[in-house]
Amino acid sequence: MGFPTGDDLANAKMWMNGKIIPWADAKVHVLTHALHYGSGVFEGIRAYATEDGPAIFRLDDHMERFLLSGKVYGMEYPHTREELSEACKAVVRENGLASAYIRPIAYYGYGRLGVHPSGLPIEVAVGAWEWGSYLGDEALEKGVRVALSPWRRIPPDALPVSAKACGQYLSSILGTMSVKKNGFHEALFLDHNGNVSEGSGENIFIIKDNVILTPHTGSSILEGITRDSVMTIARDLGYEVREKTLVMGDVFGADEAFFTGTAAEVTPIREVEYRTIGSGEPGPVTREIQTVYLDAVRGRRPEYASWLTRVAPRTKTVEEAA
C-alpha cells in the first residue's frame, strides 16, 4: 500500500486525537487555525522491515523533538509521550504495513481565527503509509542533481529553527518549486549570512580528504536525527566528523557530498549548480556510510539495535482469543 487512494481507503487507518479512525474520516474544518497561520508542528519517522517485523527508527528521539517543537509554540499536547509513541506503533500495525513513513502532526485547531492561539484545541494526529525513495527512484543509487534555492533559509532570529514547524516549510516549498522547474531533484539553501545551510527537507554533508563536514546549528539547519545517526556511524567507522561553517566553495571543492533525512535517508549528491561533485558518481565514503545506515535501520547492525523500536503485533482481545 502506498499513499492510500481508491480501494485502499476502505481499509486504511489514522490515529486522531486518541483514537484509531478510518483514513477518510481524518478531516479538519477549513477555518482551522493551523491552515491559516501554519501553526502546527510535525515529525517524519520511518519504520523498516526487520527480522522481528516492522521497527521504528529512533522513535524516542523523534518524540523528543515533537514535544520540543510543540513547547516552542506553546502547545500542551493532550497526550503523554507514551501515548504518542504508542500511536506511531498503532498506525503501522493497524495498516498492516511492513515498512512505513509515519507522520505525527500537532496543531492549533478550530475555534476562532486571529493570530493569537489562546484557548484553541490542540489536535494531534498520526498517519502512516509506504513512502519509497524521497528524491526519485534512482536517487539512492545514482545521486541527485541540486541547484541553489533563490530563497535563503529563515534566520534563527526570525523563527526557532530547531522546532519542526509547518509554517517553516513555505521556504522549502519556494525553493523546491524554483529548482524542480529547472529539472533539478532538490534545492540547497544558504543561510541569512550566505553560508551553506540545508536542503528543503534534508541536511547536507560534504567529504574532503576523508574528513566529513556538515553545517553547524548556527547555519539555520534543522538538527536532523538522520544527521546525528550518520555522524555516529561515520565516527564509528573511524572518520573525523566536523560541524562547521561551510561556504559554497567548500561544496564545489568537495570530493563527495550527500543529503541526509528520514525521507531522503542517505542520498548522494552528484552535481550542484551545474558543477560535478568529485567524479560525479557517488563516492566510496558516501557509499560506506549509506550501506551501514541502510543496514542499521533494518536491524542488520547489532551495534545500533538500540535505535530501533519494534512494532509488536497487536495482542488479541479476550473476545478475539475466545
Site residues for ligand PPE per CB under 6 A: 44, 172, 198, 201-203, 222, 224-227, 260-264
| Minimal distance, residue 222 CB to ligand PPE, in Å | 4
Say how far apart CA 303 and CA 168 lie, in whole Å: 35
| Minimal distance, residue 315 CB to ligand PPE, in Å | 30
Give which of 137, 110, 133, 134 is closest to 122, Cα–Cα: 110
Say how far apart CA 160 and CA 20 lie, in whole Å: 32
Q: Which of 89, 142, 164, 180 is catalytic?
A: 164
Contact 106, 77 (CB under 8 A): yes
**Helix, strand or coil, per DSSP, at residue 85:** helix
| Minimal distance, residue 165 CB to ligand PPE, in Å | 10
How many CA atoms lie less than 13 Å away from 194 in the CB half-sphere?
Answer: 1
Q: Residue 43 or 123: which CB sits closer to ligand PPE? A: 43
Contact 290, 281 (CB under 8 A): no
| Minimal distance, residue 62 CB to ligand PPE, in Å | 7
Which residue's Cβ has the minimum distance to ligand PPE?
44
Distance of CA 4 to the CA centre of its chain: 20
- The DSSP output letter for 91 is H
Q: Residue 123 or 198: which CB sits closer to ligand PPE? A: 198
In sign, the C-alpha dihedral spanning 233, 236, 242, 243 is positive
Cell numbers representing residue 217 in the block: 546549528
Cell 500511536 belongs to 87
Is 164 marked active-site? yes
Say how far apart CA 143 and CA 208 lie, in whole Å: 18
| Minimal distance, residue 80 CB to ligand PPE, in Å | 22
Q: Residue 95 or 220: which CB sits closer to ligand PPE? A: 220
Q: Residue 199 or 278: which CB sits closer to ligand PPE? A: 199
Q: Residue 153 or 270: which CB sits closer to ligand PPE? A: 153
Say how far apart CA 285 and CA 266 lie, in whole Å: 12
Cell numbers representing residue 15 in the block: 490515529
Residues taking part in catalysis: 164
